[in-house]
Amino acid sequence: MNKLKSEKIKKKLRNSSVGIAGVGGLGSNAAIALARAGIGQLIIVDFDKVEEGNLDRQYYFLDQVGKAKVDALKDNIKRIDPAVNVLVLNLKLDKGSMEKPFKNVDVIIEALDNAETKTEFVEEIMLKLPNKPIVAASGVAGYGHCDRIATKRCGNLYLCCDENAPSSDDDVLLAPRVALMANWEANLAIEIILGEDIGN
């Protein structure tokens, strides 16, 4: 292992922040990956409570059912690394002020569920915070087809997408594919923060 590179990455990540909109399947898994990678600060926003039906893909446990997702996720992150500064916002992102919690983060991760909210969020961030990198995901439902997933870049929007995937309104959401895309988003966020990995 290259010690110099590893120290440099550690330091840079510790001084960086990521904001996550929604901590369901995408957001909870992305947050855990970023915490393990050593991110300094996470701002997590959601208004939902943990339900038993979430446990097939979201990073929560049976004994957390009924708890606010943001609080449960903070607890889980603290069990991995208490040094991560987790700021929780137990609220619904409202159209017109969706960008507010994310003004000061280095990268925003869109991890919402339905297409309408996803679109509204991406549009609002691109309009109001045009210089802020935003990572979004589209086409999470179903299983298999790993290699249909690709990153599309459009200005400051980095979209992890499978254009041929079904909508979750008509199809299943399962842990492997959801976590794959969540980690894809986290990996993109890290790449944006650190710059492209060009070796040692």
Partner 1 sequence: MKTLGIEVNSKKVEWVKNETVDQLLKRMGYVFPLVVVKINEKVIPKNDFSKVIVPDKSKIAVIHMISGG
Applying CB under 8 A, the residues found at the interface with partner 1 are 22, 24-27, 111-116, 118-119, 122-123, 126-127, 130, 136-141, 152, 154-155, 157, 159, 161-163, 165-169, 173, 178
Question: CA 21: distance to chain centroid?
Answer: 7
Measured from the CB of residue 161, what is the shortest distance to partner 1 in angstroms? 8
Beta strands in the chain (DSSP E): 17-21, 41-46, 85-90, 107-110, 134-138, 150-154, 157-161
Please say which residue, 68 or 157, places its beta carbon nearer to partner 1: 157
Residue 13 vs 109, nearer CB to partner 1? 109
Give me the least distance between CB of 144 and partner 1, in Å please.
Answer: 15
Q: Which is nearer to partner 1, 168 or 183 (CB)?
A: 168
Nearer to partner 1, 13 or 69 (CB): 69
DSSP characters over 33-71: HHHHHT-SEEEEEE--B--GGGGGTSS--GGGTTSBHHH
